[in-house]
Amino acid sequence: MTESGRKKRMLTLLSYNIHGGVGCDDRLDVDRIAGILRQQEADIIGLQEVRNLPGLPGAVAPQLRYLAASLGMEAISGPTLNSAGGNYGNALLTHFAPREVRRLDLSFPEREPRGALDVDFELPGGRIRLIVTHLGLRPAERRFQVRRLVEAVAGREDCPVVLMGDLNEWFPPGRPARWLHRHFGRGPSPPTFPSAFPLFALDRILVRPPAALVELRVLRSPQARIASDHLPLRATIALT
């Protein structure tokens, strides 16, 4: 069979800032988040603002363990804030066992700690590297953090690389966006925030090589519009 005739393996990814499970109605409802995720039947899910802290009224804690059990997926934690009782930050839910897990520190002085979960997977269709992150609110933070991320992926061309998460970059001509486009290409960037009336493309799924991205779309169901202040982003990736 020729290369062009070989059927490619498709991978479904989801990126979602769940806002600690608190919706736009100010109700903490992790089951609502689980329902949205379950409907998508994604292979790998990148999450931000996952709260695994005790003492939340009506909370299902820890959230990551609960979501993993609800979806029948494996959880990989990438906390950015730790306490004696739990943690908070990024996470991956996956149907595949990771090959290697790295946790990158993207913290900027005197700002909220930030990080990225950097994971290699060996899949039936080939290897893929996924980075899940949540960048800072200030431009100086994001410039520092994007430089760190670009350094982490520079020079490696042995497999597709996916950067997914809440990048907090609402200024497309800004330097962080230009640096990311230089390394990942200028892919689609539909608005995801605020969920009730999305205006800003804060959440991204960027793929290198860009041709591996088959489809990217925002989930706009009535439940998704209220379950968090961000809308989920869904991508289909072709593995060679």
Identify the sign of the CA torsion 24, 25, 28, 34.
Answer: negative
| C-alpha–C-alpha distance, residues 117 and 63, integer Å | 17
Q: Judge if the upstream peptide bond of residue 176 is cis by omega within 30 degrees of 0.
A: no
Give pLDDT, residue 1: 37
Give pLDDT, residue 126: 87
| C-alpha–C-alpha distance, residues 190 and 93, integer Å | 23
Tens digit of pLDDT per residue, the chain (240 long)? 344 445 678 999 999 999 999 999 999 999 999 999 999 999 999 999 999 876 555 556 689 999 999 999 999 999 998 876 778 899 999 999 999 999 999 999 999 999 999 999 999 888 999 999 999 999 999 999 999 999 998 877 778 999 999 999 887 777 888 899 888 888 899 999 999 999 999 999 999 999 999 999 999 999 999 999 999 999 999 987
Give pLDDT, residue 57: 53
Instruction: Give the position of tokens 């689609």.
Output: 188
| CATH no. for 10-239 | 3.60.10.10
Give pLDDT, residue 7: 66
Give pLDDT, residue 60: 60
Give pLDDT, residue 128: 95
